[in-house]
């Protein structure tokens, strides 16, 4: 549905997007995940039409939206995308229904149709009871629901989201994340989200595109990106486990300089194991023990169902099937 080919963008002499290629399917929820400064917001701004690419092609359903070489540029309003921002961006002096009617009014809707549509989208996000209130009278989660309703009002084909869960506390974030996903599925929306938050990316996305320094380094389902990161940078950013030099494992079938030992790749041996580790710390977290150890000068962390001794030595096996080679 959306095709991005060799997209480049510089500000002054600094190249921010260094050739982005990405295909997004209809009805897909994709997240651009990356550290601050990796260029994800710039890419979202180009998608929205708030910024123009220097070169490359952006198209939607075969229609070119931005192609500098042919001087083609479709402005924001004509793209008919919906937007959901982290700070909700609601007008404080307007009631909830007025806020949602705003894009409809700008689009020239008749008053009666507008009222019907506002009711419809408010019902879709379960906010009908709050139509007459002002944004300040709502909680953060409720305001974000209104933000989503407003984005849905004009029945857009594509919704662009900028860290939609960022300003919410953690339980609410997960709940609203699941709701956003449900709505996206229900309406077959194509959603493009931008965030640096790994959890948000995992909850919302069908696929994650990891951006590093103006390039997409890996695209895949959350499971793939988080358990089989392709580079040292991604493994570190998604906190996938222990990154060790290849020779730490002795002879290996891999040629890459670095290996990922996920936290499930180390297991306490019943008697004598492959390596002897010195236990540094044990904490119980999220239903299992997180054990920090030192092996041959290397700090490692692994998960264990059983509590090992708090200090002293422990024998470990390394499950080589779980080891992932990493490019630099
Ligand atoms: N209009 C602009 N003029 C000059 N530099 C800009 C402009 N917009 C962004 N940049 C620079 O481009 C780089 C990438 O910014 P961008 O906002 O795309 O990154 P990001 O990954 O979204 O980061 P964040 O999560 O902090 O928003 C940054 O170094 C930023 O300072």
One domain for residues 138 and 260: no
| Angstrom distances, CA of residue 16 to CA of 10, 12, 20, 41, 222 | 5, 10, 11, 10, 25
Residue to mutate, 42, 160, 214, ligand 1, most ligand atoms under 8 Å from C-beta? 42
Whether residue 288 is found in the same domain as residue 166: no
- Residue 241 sits in the same domain as residue 221: no
- Is the pLDDT confidence value at 88 over 80? no
Average pLDDT over residues 20-31: 97
Residue 212 and residue 247 in one domain: no
Same domain membership, residue 104 and residue 162: yes
User: Does 180 lie in the same domain as 271?
Assistant: no
Hey, which of 14, 41, 160, 237 would you mutate to test ligand 1's pocket, going by the most ligand atoms within 8 Å of its Cβ?
41
Q: Which ligand 1 atom is nearest residue 196's CA?
A: 25
Report pLDDT for 97: 94
Residue 61 sits in the same domain as residue 191: yes
Return the structure tokens found at 151. 């984005």
Give nearest CA residue, ligand 1 atom 2: 11
**Residues 91 and 135 occupy one common structural domain:** yes
Q: Are residues 139 and 185 in the same domain?
A: yes
Choosing from 205, 232, 259, the residue where a domain stops is 232
pTM: predicted TM-score of the whole model, two decimal places: 0.89
Exposure class string for 148-168: b at 16+ Cβ within 10 A, else e: bbbbbbbebbbbbbbbbbebb
41: domain CATH number is 3.40.50.300
Per-residue confidence at 141, pLDDT binned at 50, 70, 90?
Answer: confident
The residue whose CA has the least distance to atom 16 of ligand 1 is: 39
Q: What is the model's pLDDT at position 120?
A: 93
pLDDT of residue 117: 96
Residue 308's pLDDT band, with cuts at 50, 70 and 90, is confident
Tell me, what CATH number does 284's domain have? 2.40.50.140
Q: How crowded is the C-beta side of 16, counted as CA atoms within 13 Å?
A: 19
Residue ending a domain, among 208, 232, 256, is 232
Q: State the total domains in the chain.
A: 2
**Statement to judge: residues 204 and 270 lie in one domain:** no
**What average pLDDT does the segment 17-26 reach?**
97
17 and 107 share one domain: yes
What is the pLDDT, as a whole number, of residue 306? 86
Residue list, ligand 1 pocket, CB within 6 Å: 11, 16, 34, 36-42, 196
Pick from 232, 258, 285: which residue ends a domain? Answer: 232
Asked whether the predicted pLDDT for residue 254 surpasses 90, the reply is: no
Q: Are residues 214 and 288 in the same domain?
A: no
As a whole number of angstroms, the distance between CA 88 and CA 93 comes to 14
Domain that holds residue 313: 235-326
pLDDT, average across residues 293-297: 93
């Amino acid at each position: 549905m959306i095709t991005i080919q060799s997209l480049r963008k510089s500000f002054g002499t600094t190249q921010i997007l260094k050739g982005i290629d990405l295909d997004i399917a209809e009805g897909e929820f994709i997240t651009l995940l990356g550290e601050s400064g990796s260029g994800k917001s710039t890419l979202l701004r180009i998608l929205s039409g708030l910024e123009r690419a220097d070169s490359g092609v952006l198209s939607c359903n075969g229609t070119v939206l931005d192609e500098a070489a042919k001087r083609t540029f479709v402005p924001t309003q004509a793209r008919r995308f919906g937007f959901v921002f982290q700070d909700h961006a609601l007008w404080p002096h307007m009631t909830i229904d007025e806020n949602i009617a705003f894009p409809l009014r700008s689009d020239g809707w008749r008053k009666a149709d507008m009222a019907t549509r506002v009711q419809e989208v408010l019902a879709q996000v379960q906010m009908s009871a709050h139509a007459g209130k002002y944004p300040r009278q709502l909680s953060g989660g409720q305001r974000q629901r209104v933000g989503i309703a407003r984005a849905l009002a004009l029945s857009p084909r594509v919704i662009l989201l900028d860290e939609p869960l960022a300003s919410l506390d953690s339980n609410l974030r997960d709940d609203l994340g699941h709701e956003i996903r449900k709505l996206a599925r229900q309406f077959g929306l194509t959603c493009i989200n931008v965030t640096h938050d790994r959890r948000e990316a995992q909850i919302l996305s069908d696929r994650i595109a990891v951006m590093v320094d103006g390039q997409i380094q890996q695209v895949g389902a959350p499971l793939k990106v988080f358990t089989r990161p392709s580079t040292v940078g991604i493994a570190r950013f998604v906190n996938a486990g222990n990154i060790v030099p290849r020779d730490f494992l002795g002879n290996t079938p891999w040629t890459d300089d670095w290996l990922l030992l996920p936290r499930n790749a180390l297991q306490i041996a019943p008697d004598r194991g492959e390596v002897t580790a010195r236990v540094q710390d044990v904490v119980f977290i999220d239903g299992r023990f997180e054990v920090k150890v030192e092996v041959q000068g290397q700090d490692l962390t692994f998960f264990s169902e059983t509590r090992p001794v708090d200090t002293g030595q422990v024998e470990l096996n390394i499950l080589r099937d779980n080891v992932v080679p990493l490019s630099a």
